[in-house]
Amino acid sequence: MTLPPSPPSLDGLLTQLEELDAWITAEQEIERAKLGELRRQAKARPFRRGGPGSIDTRKYAIGGAVVLLAGEIDATTLLGLMAQTDMMLKWMAETRLAGGPQPFGTLLRAVLGDPRKADWCRRWGGIIEWAHRKALYDASVTSFEASGRAGPNEPWRRKPISDDQADLVETLCRILGTPAPALANRGAAYEWIKDRGGNPAHWAPPPHPDSWSDDDDA
């Protein structure tokens, strides 16, 4: 007969709680560090200069390599394609088999030349980019909800738009393909970001290509 496991001792429970507290603290530190870096990027964006060895210079170099191979390609669309590796390889292999040996850039342009495939990739790229901004979004919007200071008459609403908000608005406009809004103050920006950043309809993954029909243009 198998005996039931003995309940943990008080010392064992305390040890588990200490380990859990240490893990939570570590996760919080990671999020704070990520938020700090996102804020630094947002503030530096209008004044950014890419010196030798800088992160921006390395990004430009990587982007330049892609442009040399494939020409001008929307970065968000390319991100979505490369993140969905199975579909990228499948589509490129189909193009290669249909047309024979072709350079990488030619294969890439052929795949993204299909509007339906390009739209699918861009939507995935937007989801990934927005997930990267989540820490900044949480700090700009979600924290206000939790604080109880999101009421319509709060004084902060009349202040100028913050760096966090300006960065989020710019990112959302680019990802969602919408024109830049005229936002008078921090309150207007808060509502605009909340509507687009927190609405699941904007960030639902697109249907898998296997579900597409031949006459489906959506």
**Using the 8-state DSSP alphabet, how is residue 9 labeled?**
P
What's the pLDDT band for 218 if we cut at 50, 70, 90? very low
82 inside domain: yes
Q: Are residues 62 and 92 in the same domain?
A: yes
Statement to judge: residues 105 and 138 lie in one domain? no
Q: Is residue 14 part of a domain?
A: no
| Whole-number pLDDT of residue 211 | 85
Instruction: Assess whether 113 and 139 both reside in one domain.
Output: no
Q: Which of 124, 131, 135 lies closest to 76, judged by CA?
A: 124
> Are 156 and 131 a contacting pair, CB within 8 Å?
no
Q: What's this model's pTM, rounded to 2 decimal places?
A: 0.66
The SS3 of residue 159 is coil
Residue at token pair 């990671």:
30
- In the block, tokens 């993140």 appear at 83
Q: Which band of pLDDT confidence, cut at 50, 70 and 90, is reported for residue 8? A: low
Picking from 91, 118, 145, the residue at the C-terminal end of a domain is 118
Q: Which residues of 84-110 are buried (b: 16+ CB within 10 A; e: fewer)?
A: beebbeebbeebeeeeeeeeeebbbbb
Q: Say which residue, 147 or 55, is predicted with more confidence.
A: 147
Which range of residues forms the domain containing residue 63?
A: 55-118
Specify the higher pLDDT residue, 59 or 82: 82
Give me the pLDDT at residue 115, please: 93
pLDDT value, residue 148: 80
Q: Would you say the C-alpha torsion 19, 24, 25, 27 has a positive or negative sign?
A: positive
70 conformational bin, left if phi > 0, alpha if psi -120 to 50, beta if neither: alpha
* Residue 77, token pair as written in the block: 């669309």
What pLDDT digit, counting tens, does each position of 149-199 carry? 888 888 889 999 988 888 889 989 988 888 999 999 999 998 999 888 888
Q: Do 139 and 111 lie in a common domain?
A: no
Q: 95 with 142, same domain?
A: no
The Cα-based distances of 79 to 18, 128, 139, 193 in angstroms read 40, 8, 25, 23
CB 161 within 8 A of CB 190: no
Is 140 in the same domain as 199? yes
Total domain count for the chain?
2
**197-216 b/e (C-beta count within 10 Å ≥ 16 → b):** beeeebbeebeeeeeeeeee
Instruction: Give the pLDDT confidence score for residue 80 in this predicted structure.
Output: 92
Nearby residues of 134 by Cβ (< 8 Å), 6 or more positions away: none
